[in-house]
Structure 1
Amino acid sequence: MANLDPTPAAPAHREPAAGAAVAPAKASAAPPAGPSAAPAAAPAKEARWAALLGTLRKAGAIVRPAPKRRPGSGLPARKVIQVLVWARRAVQAGCLGLFLYFLFQTGFRGSFASAEARVRLPLPVEGFLLADPFVGAMTLLSTHTVYRGLLWSLGILALTLVFGRVFCGWICPFGTLHHFFGWIFPSRYGKGGKRVEANKTYTRQRVKYYLMYAFLAASATGSVIGGLFDPICVAVRAIGLAVIPAAQYVAAVVTGSAATTGSRPVQLAADHAQDFLAASVWQTKQFYFHHTWFVGILFVAILFMNRFIPRFWCRVLCPLGAFLGVFARFALFGMQKDHAKCTDCNLCLVHCQGADSPQGGVKWRQDECHMCLNCESACPEDVIKFRFLPNRKSALVTPDTGRRTALATAAAGAVIIPTARIADVLDANYDHRVIRPPGSVEEREFLERCIRCAECMKVCPNNAIHPAFFEAGIEGLWTPIVIPRIGYCEHSCVLCGDVCPTGAIQKITEEQKMGVGQKPISIGTAFYDQGRCLPWSMSVPCIVCEEFCPTSPKAIWVEEVDIPKREPVAAEHGKEPPMKMVHVQRPHVDPSLCIGCGACEKVCPVQDKPAVYVTSVGETRSKTNVILLEDTDYNKAS
């Protein structure tokens, strides 16, 4: 494409050729001297250049690009809407960043041996969970009380009553994560007509309401199992237990590869990067979590579904979004349409995040709108306007769910908990592997409060707390349990109760846990498998468990014995090896002093299956899960 400058260049001065005659200048042809000559010649030159450019354009040598304009009448969006759209993007990025920062800071990276008497996290890392209205509603129904910290969720409800589901479109970090993923990996439907079809309202969006009804009904029967689907809980659980440990593992592999390059600068850069990440993102050692592969696969699958249904989780599965949608019907701020102006350009649908029918000719679904304001920003006909106290004639304010289906799902939610509890795992045959963190309330109340958020698992400095799979039954899926073989409970640590947002793990002090002036809190009792214990079964000296026992006086004591042992030498054929007497210390457990911390099981040198193990019997929180029959309520009642 030619690009010609309409201003002509000054003609170059040429010297006459050698030997050429120079004609004398005629007086009549000489231009008038003085500054008045230039203005007289300029219009003629501009006219010639304009004519030349016109000829070139007609011939197609120069193509003037058409200015970009909006379809239809091309009316620009209101300035306030343009500003609010950018403000929403900034708030989304800020809230996601704050959520990730809190998640990274959910951990203690110091040493309890050198730390002060009281170790607390400096930030309210559970803040997003405390502001979750669905969590507050479930715990209210299950416990008939409101945990003090959850009163923050009333602020989100108040915001919803004014602006609608602004939490979903502006604040929710899990929703922003889906929005960001959809931007990085766009939907397979792309743009245009297919995108319009993908963003229309479909009956599948009712599923989240049915899930909400079922989970609220389950809460009324005594279990906040809805935490499995709460978006904030899902985000903490998936990122904290799967994404961050996986990233830590990959970083360790990369750092190890850098160490073998032989390049000193590369090694230093890798070491500095690893030190920075260990100080700000993850712990200094690699963390492993029980069955976390399942959590990670579900998380990836949910994100991948955005390739087929934009904002899949938010539109189809999110019970928190459905809960806020019920309150959004009363919002003071909403959309008002002028259907007569609509030209069916469908730009509003192309940019819609909530699939709430913003296009003309249909009623707007107020309960589905995320208040992203993209529709008004994209509308070229001034059809859509968001305002306070809009005309409700062009809006549907109630969720589009069938009454019978809603009642059926609520009934299913109410029935599933009693059905799960008639199994043998809660009362008749309590699983010895279900060791709850210190400060946990009694098991039934624990299931009434625990939302499976995994904050306690993420904050545990020794990697001792893990998500249960089916050890605690289907109702206890992903509730926290202590697995001492992976990590033991630090004797002076109470961080798990400090970050619990619902009181399933009570906030206790170090003095209460260690038993200063009172009986210490016990989460279980240690037992010995004498057939595997080295001093008992093989006459091999070993007192590692006794050395690591943190209680004072120690719950593990040793018995000094002299016993015979075969000499480790080859004997003659058909003869027994010679014997010798060895002095060993056989360990024993004092159940009155054992707190079930699991330090002995963690350090036991018998690798495949430890010779000392901890079970939940004797835990302080239970009056029935005890060792001696005379201490039970059953015996007292009889």
Structure 2
Amino acid sequence: MNLYRLLRKSRIFLASMVLIFTFVLFIDLYEWIPNETFDAILYLQFVPSFLHFITVFSITTAGGFLVVLLLTFLTGRLYCSVICPLGILQDVINKIARWKSKKKRFFKHKKPHPVLRYTFLGIMVLAMIFGAGWIVTWLDPYSIAGRTFTYLFKPLTVWLNNGVIAPVLQNFEIYSVYHVNLMMPYLIPVILSFATIAAIGYFSWKRGRLFCNTICPVGTLLGIASKFSFLKVQFDSSTCTRCGKCAGVCKSECIDIRNYSVDHSRCVTCFNCLDICPELALSLRPATHKNQNPVDFKEATMPKEEKQQATDNNRRKLLVTGLALLTGSRIYALKKNKLPDNQKDLLLNNKEYPVTPPGAGNIKRFNDICTGCSLCVAACPTGVLQPSLTHYGLNGFMQPHMDYATYFCNFDCNKCGEVCPTGAILPLPLEEKQVTQMGKAVFVKQNCVVYTDETVCGACSEHCPTKAVTMVPYKNGLRIPEVDQSICIGCGACEYPCPVPQPYKAIYVNGNAQQQLADKPDLGEKQEVDHEEDFPF
């Protein structure tokens, strides 16, 4: 086995491990993975690491993007082939396509698309500067892969677990694998995630890394750095026979055998061309001073009208996609807020702000940093974290919010902050999380069944972990809720069990624009127990 074959096989092995480990993070049904493992696996993800660094300014905690840049200056875009889960997914799809293809040479050299590449990179940079988090959400490759795992692969995994694995193992009295509930109240995230990965998968099936070298801003940025990398794939024109095998396996379509050149800005350093070359005319060696990226002849002679037409077509596609997203969100909002005839007398819950996860700080900061990767949604043990649709507006589309129609936030859980790779949800010690006020409970007397039906209820008070909701005398021996907002943390344990349907809950949580610290509840003095005294029965 020669050196280049060893490099290629090592790259495939490492990429497989990264894809498997990242996939398992999102599909951890039983919370078997320790929280610190999340940071170790996701440390090198470029955009989350950069955003996390902006938040904490710690190279040790969030310096993975610097490691990626150094690696790129050394060997080129190895990140795209080994570390990026979306890039590895595309390789898997393309590998299947090659197996099914009857052609001996699947790829050939194609012209680059610099206008599109630098346009998307510019959009990404401006989005980060001006806090347009929703744009970052749809351009970050890691986040696209994360939503694919969360909203497509996890439901399939849960179905397989509940329908096949758990019943079979329980027949053998193995109960470490058990039935798992999947909390997914909205269909829109599933549809959008499927549409996104289907489009990228189609590009990969037909053209390999077309998405990475046309749309992905991370690939474009690392491509710029790759032009200055120390080690580059280079031709030896004296031994090359122009057999075309190297171009046939180049999934980036960046090898021009006519001019003995490699477009290093598009090369993802997969080592496929090095391994397949029979004459060893291609080698990975320190860069020379020769022009490694001559202008492609076809691109230079292409009429300006064709270039402009291609650019216009892509712009129209982006515009149509954006309008579809906006229209879908608006239709959902109208449907959700429509008043049924039998509930005309009930008051609509007036939530001034959505409820952000504990540790998000304030809504603006959260929307600016969160990339909507949905790792917190996948890791949330109660399923209360769900992707937002219209809750934050366009700027926070698909970012997580506390959805108390699904469940409520566990008082003894702080997992979302422990797993967040960008720092949008800061990790909080459990003691601090338990007094972090995400919002305040609001009681609507006109909607309460104690008032409307004159019947006994106390579900909200029974579930409140801080006793911010208590039952006070009302009339005819009935008791009605009363809220002490000073000790309320907005966990939703009162809103979720309220028997009145949404959005007319008798008690609901109004989110805080800026999270605060609630007062500690007075639980009274603990009674001392004499363990030496015999039981009285």
Go from structure 1 to structure 2 and tell me whether the alpha carbon gap of 1:227 and 1:432 turns closer, same or farther (over 3 Å shift).
same
Distance 2:88 2:382 in 1: 31
Amino acid at match of 2:431: E
Are 1:288 and 2:211 an aligned pair? no
Amino acid at match of 2:180: T
Distance 1:618 1:337 in 2: 60
Residue 344 of structure 2 corresponds to none
Are 1:159 and 2:79 an aligned pair? no
Go from structure 1 to structure 2 and tell me whether the alpha carbon gap of 1:285 and 1:274 turns closer, same or farther (over 3 Å shift).
farther
Distance 1:460 1:203 in 2: 42
Are 1:121 and 2:40 an aligned pair? no
Distance 2:204 2:218 in 1: 18
Amino acid at match of 1:84: L
Go from structure 1 to structure 2 and tell me whether the alpha carbon gap of 1:131 and 1:184 turns closer, same or farther (over 3 Å shift).
same
User: SS of 1:603's equivalent?
Assistant: coil
Are 1:221 and 2:130 an aligned pair? yes
Q: Deviations over 1:114-153 (max 9, x none)?
A: xxxxxx934331445432334444566x769567622122
In structure 1, list runs of 5 or more residues that go unmatched. 1-77, 110-119, 257-266, 421-429, 515-519, 564-582, 624-638
Are 1:558 and 2:478 an aligned pair? no
Are 1:513 and 2:409 an aligned pair? no
Q: Provide TM-score, normalisation by structure 2.
A: 0.77
Are 1:337 and 2:235 an aligned pair? yes
Are 1:503 and 2:412 an aligned pair? no
Of 229-238 and 542-551, deviating more is 229-238
Q: Is 1:329–1:397's contact at 8 Å kept on the other side of the alignment?
A: no
Q: Is 2:500–2:506's contact at 8 Å kept on the other side of the alignment?
A: no
Amino acid at match of 2:419: V
Deviation at 1:381, TM superposition (A): 3.2
Are 1:249 and 2:159 an aligned pair? yes
Distance 2:171 2:354 in 1: 39
Distance 1:168 1:396 in 2: 23
Distance 1:309 1:205 in 2: 17
Residue 3 of structure 2 corresponds to 80
Distance 2:185 2:210 in 1: 27
Residue 338 of structure 2 corresponds to none
Distance 1:617 1:95 in 2: 37
Once the two structures are superposed, the pairs formed by residues 99-248 of structure 1 within 5 Å of their partners are 99-105=22-28, 108=31, 121-137=34-50, 149-186=61-98, 190-192=102-104, 195-196=106-107, 199-204=108-113, 207-224=116-133, 225-248=135-158
* C-alpha RMSD over aligned residues: 3.6
Q: Is 1:357–1:363's contact at 8 Å kept on the other side of the alignment?
A: yes
Of 340-349 and 159-168, deviating more is 340-349
Deviation at 1:178, TM superposition (A): 1.2
Q: Deviations over 1:355-397 (max 9, x none)?
A: 2125242531011111111112222233212212345333369
Distance 2:354 2:64 in 1: 32
In structure 2, list runs of 5 or more residues that go unmatched. 327-349, 518-537
Are 1:369 and 2:267 an aligned pair? yes
Deviation at 1:622, TM superposition (A): 6.9
Amino acid at match of 1:230: D
Go from structure 1 to structure 2 and tell me whether the alpha carbon gap of 1:285 and 1:314 turns closer, same or farther (over 3 Å shift).
same
Deviation at 1:250, TM superposition (A): 4.9
Q: Is 1:132–1:150's contact at 8 Å kept on the other side of the alignment?
A: no
Residue 540 of structure 1 corresponds to 455
Are 1:603 and 2:497 an aligned pair? yes
Deviation at 1:584, TM superposition (A): 2.0
User: SS of 2:508's equivalent?
Assistant: strand
Amino acid at match of 2:68: I
Q: Is 2:362–2:514's contact at 8 Å kept on the other side of the alignment?
A: no
Q: Deviations over 1:522-565 (max 9, x none)?
A: 111222343432211001111111111110xx1112232344xx
Distance 1:555 1:341 in 2: 80
Distance 2:264 2:496 in 1: 55
User: SS of 2:481's equivalent?
Assistant: strand
Amino acid at match of 1:499: V
Q: Is 1:528–1:588's contact at 8 Å kept on the other side of the alignment?
A: yes
Residue 395 of structure 2 corresponds to 475
Amino acid at match of 2:433: K
Distance 1:284 1:537 in 2: 37
Go from structure 1 to structure 2 and tell me whether the alpha carbon gap of 1:604 and 1:126 turns closer, same or farther (over 3 Å shift).
same
Q: Is 1:434–1:482's contact at 8 Å kept on the other side of the alignment?
A: yes
Q: Is 2:52–2:423's contact at 8 Å kept on the other side of the alignment?
A: no
Distance 1:209 1:249 in 2: 42
Larger Cα-atom Rg: 1
Deviation at 1:431, TM superposition (A): 6.2
Q: Is 1:442–1:621's contact at 8 Å kept on the other side of the alignment?
A: yes
Distance 1:590 1:441 in 2: 22
Deviation at 1:506, TM superposition (A): 2.0
Of 302-311 and 477-486, deviating more is 302-311
Deviation at 1:463, TM superposition (A): 0.6
Once the two structures are superposed, the pairs formed by residues 352-391 of structure 1 within 5 Å of their partners are 352-390=250-288
Residue 259 of structure 1 corresponds to none
Distance 1:275 1:448 in 2: 43
User: SS of 1:395's equivalent?
Assistant: coil
Go from structure 1 to structure 2 and tell me whether the alpha carbon gap of 1:606 and 1:238 turns closer, same or farther (over 3 Å shift).
same
Amino acid at match of 2:416: C
Q: Is 1:289–1:467's contact at 8 Å kept on the other side of the alignment?
A: no
Q: Is 1:96–1:176's contact at 8 Å kept on the other side of the alignment?
A: yes
Go from structure 1 to structure 2 and tell me whether the alpha carbon gap of 1:276 and 1:367 turns closer, same or farther (over 3 Å shift).
farther
Distance 1:377 1:469 in 2: 47
Go from structure 1 to structure 2 and tell me whether the alpha carbon gap of 1:502 and 1:251 turns closer, same or farther (over 3 Å shift).
closer
Go from structure 1 to structure 2 and tell me whether the alpha carbon gap of 1:171 and 1:359 turns closer, same or farther (over 3 Å shift).
farther
User: SS of 1:599's equivalent?
Assistant: coil
Amino acid at match of 1:530: K
Q: 1:311 aligns with which of 209, 224, 242?
A: 209
Go from structure 1 to structure 2 and tell me whether the alpha carbon gap of 1:205 and 1:247 turns closer, same or farther (over 3 Å shift).
farther
User: SS of 1:621's equivalent?
Assistant: strand
Of 158-167 and 236-245, deviating more is 236-245
Q: Deviations over 1:397-439 (max 9, x none)?
A: 99x999x99xxx9xx9xxx9xxx9xxxxxxxxx9635210112
Q: Is 2:437–2:516's contact at 8 Å kept on the other side of the alignment?
A: no
Q: Is 1:187–1:306's contact at 8 Å kept on the other side of the alignment?
A: no
Q: Deviations over 1:281-322 (max 9, x none)?
A: xx8322325433222332233223323222343233222211
Go from structure 1 to structure 2 and tell me whether the alpha carbon gap of 1:107 and 1:620 turns closer, same or farther (over 3 Å shift).
farther
Are 1:90 and 2:13 an aligned pair? yes
Q: Deviations over 1:562-615 (max 9, x none)?
A: 44xxxxxxxxxxxxxxxxxxx322122222222211111211233455633434
Distance 2:413 2:295 in 1: 49
Distance 2:256 2:111 in 1: 14
User: SS of 1:235's equivalent?
Assistant: helix
Amino acid at match of 2:183: F
User: SS of 1:100's equivalent?
Assistant: helix
